[in-house]
Amino acid sequence: MSWRGGSTHRLIRVLAFVVTVGSVLLAAVPALAGILDTSWTAPTTSADGSPLTDLASYRVYYGLSTPPSCPGTSYLQFASSTPSPAPGQTVTARLTGLSTGSLYYVAVTAVDTNGNESACITPLSAVARIDFSVSPTATVNFGSVAIGGLADQTFTVQNTGGGTVSGTASVPAPFSVVSGGSFNLVGVGATQAVRVRFSPTVAATASASVTFTANGASLTRVVTGLGVSSAPPGAATLVAPSGSIATATPTFSWNAVALATQYLLWVDDSSGGRLRTTYTAAQVGCATGIGTCSMVSSATLNPGTGQWWVVTSNASGSGPWSNGLTFTVAGTPPPPAATLVAPSGSIATRTPTFSWNAVASATQYLLWVDDSSGGRLRTTYTAAQVGCASGTGACSIVPGAMLNPGAGQWWVVTSNASGSGPWSSGMTFTAP
């Protein structure tokens, strides 16, 4: 079968685009969604010169960078709208799935109802391009948004190729297109704003692609946002340590709290405050909000009885304190606090005797005295030096320093081989 009465072939336009992959890679990859619109004048006569009455379809052959094999076994088939085309009838067909910026060769044949195929039109070529754009091109971050709240960002679609660009924009939850979801851009430079909304329902990072589809091609833009709880998290439930423990550096563990992003680990050992450290949920191994959080003690605990707690928090604030768990580290603990006796109030001498009740397990006492000039005494004495080596009765010492006139305060800190005990309560005095 040969063509008569029309064998011209022209390439009208090419559409293509680049797909942007997700926010982890942030790289562009070649898109296979380009479009090539072709057109030709339909044949009107058969090979013998008689009017064509049995035209069935057209076969479109195309090749990347080199002319296609035509006729051949690989082609796209398009049905003819009529078996008897009128003179001058233009036929159009669209090729999709092409690569942006690549050169394509296209040839066309006609096929009658008996399956006879005409000779090929001489291949013509064109380079893929795109006829619309979307800005911004970089990932759009909606920031932190409270659960139940919302935030909007705007994209702009522009006609860059002329003619009419008609299409839609879509995105999966928890994002949505709230305006400009359908667009019809007539002429080069025509634009439309597309407003996208982030409405988180869970406290987590969300990421999705906004898809802009027009004239058979598509562009995607990555959007991301962080859903945060609108209320502080609940209390944590402690797991361990509890009771007698065999190590002075235990692993503290508790059940994860779904909305918590941080945990304050608060530990008191026999000497008093020992740990006051805030960790992220990721640092303690429970970033998903499920399972168990744990952290090895960063400090060596003193022998004796202690207690610990955890306080949850997130961007909305701190949750309640957990119930406390008590533990006992093996060994002799540091001594408890001393109880001061004198001096107190107005005193008659600037070289007073400092006295306090002995502490049974204390082997040393730090005497800490501030007078009206500031720090005055920072002296450590053995229990024998202050007259209470037996751990009973009263300890006392007359320091060698003379106090300055005016108000002052003093304390005692007990200690033994296991470490320092807590500070005593302070006692004030006024020197003459």
pLDDT per residue as tens digits for the range 259-273: 899 999 999 998 889
Tokens, residue 220: 């995607």
Q: Give the strand order in the sheet containing 217-228.
A: 140-146, 217-228, 205-214, 164-170, 182-186
CB count within 10 Å of CB 70 equals 23
**CA 120 → CA 9, 85, 103, distances in Å?**
11, 18, 19
Minimal CA–CA distance to 339: which of 326, 356, 355, 325?
Answer: 356
Sorted by sequence, the CB contacts under 8 Å of residue 431 that are 6+ apart come out as: 347, 350, 352, 371, 372, 403, 404, 405, 406, 408
Model confidence band, residue 295 (pLDDT cutoffs 50, 70, 90): very high
Give the E-state strand segments of 285-393 in sequence order: 292-296, 304-314, 317-321, 325-329, 339-342, 345-346, 354-357, 364-371, 374-382
Q: Which amino acid is at 298?
A: S
Looking at the predicted structure, is the pLDDT value of residue 188 above 50? yes
Cβ–Cβ under 8 Å, residues 157 and 190: no
Model confidence band, residue 315 (pLDDT cutoffs 50, 70, 90): confident
Q: Which residues of 155-169 are buried (b: 16+ CB within 10 A; e: fewer)?
A: bebbbebeeebebeb
Angle, CA 342 vertex, CA 336 and CA 343 arms, to 5°:
130
Can you say how many angstroms the Cα of residue 367 is from the centroid of all Cα atoms in its chain? 52
Tokens, residue 276: 């006051």
To the nearest 10°, the Cα dihedral for 238, 240, 245, 248? Answer: -90
Residue with tokens 């500031």: 374
Model confidence band, residue 65 (pLDDT cutoffs 50, 70, 90): low
Tens-place pLDDT, residues 149-183: 889 999 999 998 777 889 999 999 999 999 999 99
Q: Which amino acid is at 358?
A: A
Looking at the predicted structure, is the pLDDT value of residue 100 above 80? no
Range from 218-232, 284-298, 313-327 carrying the lowest mean pLDDT: 218-232
| Structural domains of the chain ordered from first start | 9-127 (2.60.40.10), 132-228 (2.60.40.10), 237-329 (2.60.40.1220), 339-431 (2.60.40.1220)
User: How far is 425 from 29, CA to CA, in rounded Å?
Assistant: 70
User: How far is 55 from 85, CA to CA, in rounded Å?
Assistant: 8
Mean pLDDT of the chain: 87
User: How far is 11 from 2, CA to CA, in rounded Å?
Assistant: 22
Sorted by sequence, the CB contacts under 8 Å of residue 266 that are 6+ apart come out as: 275, 276, 308, 309, 310, 311
Q: Residue 143 has what pLDDT?
A: 92
Q: Residue 125 has what pLDDT?
A: 84
Cβ–Cβ under 8 Å, residues 253 and 291: no
Model confidence band, residue 93 (pLDDT cutoffs 50, 70, 90): confident
Q: Residue 21 has what pLDDT?
A: 21
328: helix, strand or coil: strand
Please give the average per-residue pLDDT across 31-48, as a whole number.
76
> Which carries the bigger pLDDT value, residue 322 or residue 12?
322
Q: Residue 34 has what pLDDT?
A: 65
Q: Could you give the percent of the chain with pLDDT greater than 90?
A: 61
SS3 content of the chain, % helix, strand, coil (to 5): 0, 55, 45
Minimal CA–CA distance to 287: which of 252, 251, 320, 257?
Answer: 257
> Which carries the bigger pLDDT value, residue 102 or residue 80?
80
Q: Residue 3 has what pLDDT?
A: 34
